[in-house]
Structure 1
């Protein structure tokens, strides 16, 4: 089996449908079916059972599908090490990036790095910080940009700290917050916990949530239109200076700050492209507010 076969197994296991898997892989359905038959012939087992509602994997197929992730990572590692032997800055750098960092800081960062290292390409995955931490841990990405203090036992670098603010179109009094309409959004777990803990410390009753949306940017648009307040990281609010903002503080009057980290494995620094990128980022000065 070659790399393409392992990729077919992984994709088909995710899609559970031959037509969708073929489309995702940019190959024809007959070509995918043929490769699947060759895999079954090579191992001497039935990998999938075809039905009206898609495909189901046999126990042997399940095992091979689970192996596909490790095999693809191993093949990618071999390719990277071979390229690294040329002592050149080339290859595809895999980054896992929190959604807000990707939207507000990543484009400029990659542009500046690309200017210095034009042969290095990027594959970027964006998600919540909890998911990005997992991707770095299992080696699916070389470097992760994570917002919040997630557990990490390998190499990391603090990029910056930012405030978390109560934002509204009109001025507000903190004492009136429980009766004011609040706009909630799908925040990452650590930010959600931070806000919930702050609320419990300051108010005996729950917030008056009037609108729930999926993204911080959508919540910001609701605020601009006077539909309520939201509690957002400073980075999200930089482009709307007309909003009224009150930074969260603890009982001692200290600002509640949210850290943004760069996570990576020590062993990844053996790759020239990863070492160049990490060193480049560590020399940068980020401004979140």
Structure 2
């Protein structure tokens, strides 16, 4: 088996559909089916049973598919170690980055880093911070950039912190919030918990949610157009001038803040590309 075979098994196991898997792998459906048949002959077992509703993995096939991630990671590490022997900053840097950081900061940072090291490439995975933390824990990415306070016993570096604030088109009295239309958005668990905790400490009735959207940026646009208030991280409002902003505070009067961290495994610093990026980010975000 080669790297492509493991990718075939990993993708097919995730999709449970030959047509969808072929599309993701950029090969034809007959080519994928043929490769699957060859693998079954190589191992002398049935890997999948095909049906009208897709494919179902046999116990042997499931074992091979679950081994695919480990094998692909091993192959990736071998490639990285070989490149690292050249004592140059080359190769592919695998990053896991929170949605917000990706939208507002990452593109410029990657450009600056690539200007310094033109022989590198990036593979970026974007998701909520909880998912990114799991990726870095499993070593699926070299470096994670997450928001919130995650339990992480290896290396981490505080990049910055931002306040959480109430944003509205018109000036409002904070005591009136339960009676005013609120715009909610999908976000990571840590931020949602902070906002919910603050609300429960200040009000005895639930918020009057009138609009729910998928992203904080969409929520911001709703606020700008006067459709309600929202509770947002302050950095997302940095480029907005014509709205009213008020930080939310804990019971003891301190602003509630959210921290952004760079996290990584110490062993990964042995790779020149990882060490260079960590040093670069630390210089860009000196706290």
**CA shift in 2, pair 1:216/1:286, >3 Å:** farther
Partner of 1:261: 261
When the two chains are superposed, the root-mean-square deviation of aligned CA atoms in Å is 1.0
1:238 CA drift (Å): 1.0
Superposed CA deviations along residues 102-153 of structure 1, whole A, max 9, x for unmatched, are 0001011111101101001001110000000001010111001101001111
Question: Offset at 1:285?
Answer: 2.9
In the other structure, the counterpart of 2:218 is 218
Aligned pairs for 1:1-289 (under 5 A) are: 1-285=1-285
Tell me which stretches of 4 or more aligned residues in structure 1 moved more than 4 Å.
none
Shift of 1:31: 1.4
Residue aligned with 1:157, SS: strand
Q: For 2:40 and 2:215, how far apart are their aligned partners in 1? A: 44
Aligned to 2:284, what secondary structure does the other structure show?
coil
Deviations 1:63-99 (A, max 9, x none): 1110001000010001000110111110000000000
Cα distance in 1 for residues equivalent to 2:257 and 2:33: 53
Match of 1:167, SS?
Answer: strand
CA distance in 1, matches of 2:265, 2:16: 33
> Relative to structure 2, which stretch is displaced further, 202-211 or 261-270?
202-211
Q: Secondary structure at the match of 1:27?
A: coil
Looking at structure 1, the residues matched to 286 and 69 of structure 2 have their Cα atoms a distance apart, in angstroms, of: 35
State the secondary structure of the residue aligned to 1:81: helix
Aligned equivalents of 1:284 and 1:217: distance in 2?
24
2:173 and 2:75 mapped to 1: Cα distance?
58
1:39-64 deviations in Å (ceiling 9; x for gaps): 11111100000111111111111111
SS at match of 1:283: helix
> Residues 184-229 of structure 1, C-alpha deviation per residue, up to 9 Å, x if partnerless?
1111000000000001111111111111111111111111111110
Cα displacement (A) at 1:27:
1.1
Aligned residue for 1:212, secondary structure, equals: strand
Shift of 1:159: 0.1
CA displacement at 1:236 relative to structure 2: 1.1
Query: C-alpha separation between the residues in 2 aligned to 1:282 and 1:199?
Result: 35
Distance 1:18 1:251 in 2: 55
Unaligned stretches of 5+ in structure 2? Answer: none
Q: Which runs of 5+ in 1 are unaligned?
A: none
Give the distance between the partners of 1:18 and 1:204, measured in 2 at CA.
Answer: 52
Distance in 2, matches of 1:239 and 1:286, equals 22
Aligned-partner Cα distance in 1 for 2:173–2:230: 14
